[in-house]
């Protein structure tokens, strides 16, 4: 991704990168040498040190082995501060921090729920509070992280967001009727924005039942990147074969989608059912 936006020098991610650079230089190792030990490229090491990339768990563990003593968790502990501030699943951080903010166009398919970028706070709270083993504090953190992520679509240079949603989602009760009315009102509101398109998909579209996904179209000739939902840990990939497969599925689903103006009318009709 682009490194043109300078990171906050006081952020946990910037401190992680600064410490990584300090210890690497003290050990008289090049970025390429550290990359070989971590199993990644010199460019990836450079991005870690410049805080342009979020360290993975394995990055932190290998850095502790490389620069620490037996049992050292120095980098693992620093990474935990990054995770704590993010308020979301660790595996999702690379998508929300390194993909979405730079996307030109994002396309999504959601067969079960309103997409996260279009959820209201009360709807998101109902969804996230059902997660197993989630404390109330963790739920609040995830909800706030989702609301902050939603701001991506409010900015002047917001990406185009093209959302396909299964029609059944509008009638799936998430919380009270009031929560659902508020959520559908919000969908009706955001469809007035020029950068957001919502199309409902006929419930007879069976090829979409395998799960939700997103496709990010990136600038400067960078390859499209996809995110595929999973009950445990989602998959993020720019592998051409994987991306091509998801694109084919997206187009197959889109053939079952109603036009925007018809979808808008359908949302209005279902909204009146929630009384």
Domain boundary among 30, 51, 86: 86
Q: Residue 274 pLDDT > 90, yes or no?
A: yes
Same domain? For 44 and 103 the reply is no
Task: Report pLDDT for 88.
Answer: 55
| 24 falls within a domain | yes
| 2 falls within a domain | no
Domain boundary among 40, 65, 86: 86
Same domain? For 50 and 109 the reply is no
Same domain? For 123 and 167 the reply is yes
Same domain? For 97 and 75 the reply is no
Task: Report pLDDT for 229.
Answer: 87
Across residues 249-267, what is the average pLDDT? 97
Domain boundary among 21, 53, 86: 86
- Sign of the alpha-carbon torsion through 259, 183, 247, 212: negative
Q: Considering only residues 176 and 40, tell me which one the structure prediction assigns the higher pLDDT.
A: 176
Do 196 and 232 touch, CB atoms closer than 8 A?
no
Same domain? For 259 and 140 the reply is yes
| 35 falls within a domain | yes
Domain count for the chain: 2
Looking at the chain, the whole-number percentage of residues with pLDDT higher than 90 is: 54
Same domain? For 65 and 143 the reply is no
Task: Report pLDDT for 137.
Answer: 85
Same domain? For 58 and 139 the reply is no
Same domain? For 103 and 216 the reply is yes
Same domain? For 123 and 220 the reply is yes
Same domain? For 43 and 106 the reply is no
Q: Please report how the helices 42-49 and 31-38 are oriented relative to each other, as an axis angle in degrees rounded to 10.
A: 100
Task: Report pLDDT for 32.
Answer: 92
Domain that includes residue 71, residue range: 12-86
Same domain? For 57 and 144 the reply is no
Q: Residue 251 pLDDT > 70, yes or no?
A: yes
Kindly report the backbone phi and psi dihedral angles of residue 190, in degrees, each rounded to the nearest multiple of 5, phi listed first. -70, -20
| 1 falls within a domain | no
Which one of 46-55, 120-129, 147-156, 224-233 scores highest in mean pLDDT?
A: 120-129
Same domain? For 70 and 102 the reply is no
């Amino acid at each position: 991704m682009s490194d043109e936006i300078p990171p906050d020098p006081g952020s946990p991610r910037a401190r992680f990168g600064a410490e990584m650079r300090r210890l690497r230089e003290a050990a008289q190792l090049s970025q390429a040498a550290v990359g070989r030990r971590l199993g990644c490229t010199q460019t990836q090491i450079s991005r870690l040190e410049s805080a342009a990339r979020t360290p993975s768990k394995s990055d932190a563990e290998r850095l502790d082995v490389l620069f620490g003593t037996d049992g050292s968790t120095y980098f693992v502990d620093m990474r935990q501060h990054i995770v704590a501030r993010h308020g979301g699943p660790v595996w999702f951080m690379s998508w929300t921090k390194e993909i979405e903010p730079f996307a030109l166009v994002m396309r999504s398919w959601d067969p079960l729920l309103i997409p996260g970028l279009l959820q209201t706070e009360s709807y998101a709270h109902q969804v996230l509070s059902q997660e197993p083993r989630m404390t109330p504090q963790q739920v609040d953190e995830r909800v706030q992280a989702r609301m902050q992520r939603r701001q991506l679509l409010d900015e002047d240079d917001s990406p185009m967001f093209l959302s396909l949603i299964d029609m059944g989602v509008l009638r799936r009760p998430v919380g009270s009727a009031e929560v659902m009315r508020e959520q559908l009102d919000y969908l009706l509101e955001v469809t007035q924005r020029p950068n957001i398109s919502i199309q409902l998909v006929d419930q007879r579209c069976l090829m979409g039942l395998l799960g939700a996904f997103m496709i990010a179209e990136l600038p400067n000739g960078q390859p499209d990147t996809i995110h595929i939902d999973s009950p445990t840990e989602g998959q993020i990939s720019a592998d051409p074969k994987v991306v091509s497969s998801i694109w084919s599925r997206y187009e197959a689903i889109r053939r079952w989608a109603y036009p925007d103006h018809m979808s808008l009318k359908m949302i209005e009709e279902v909204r009146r059912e929630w009384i």
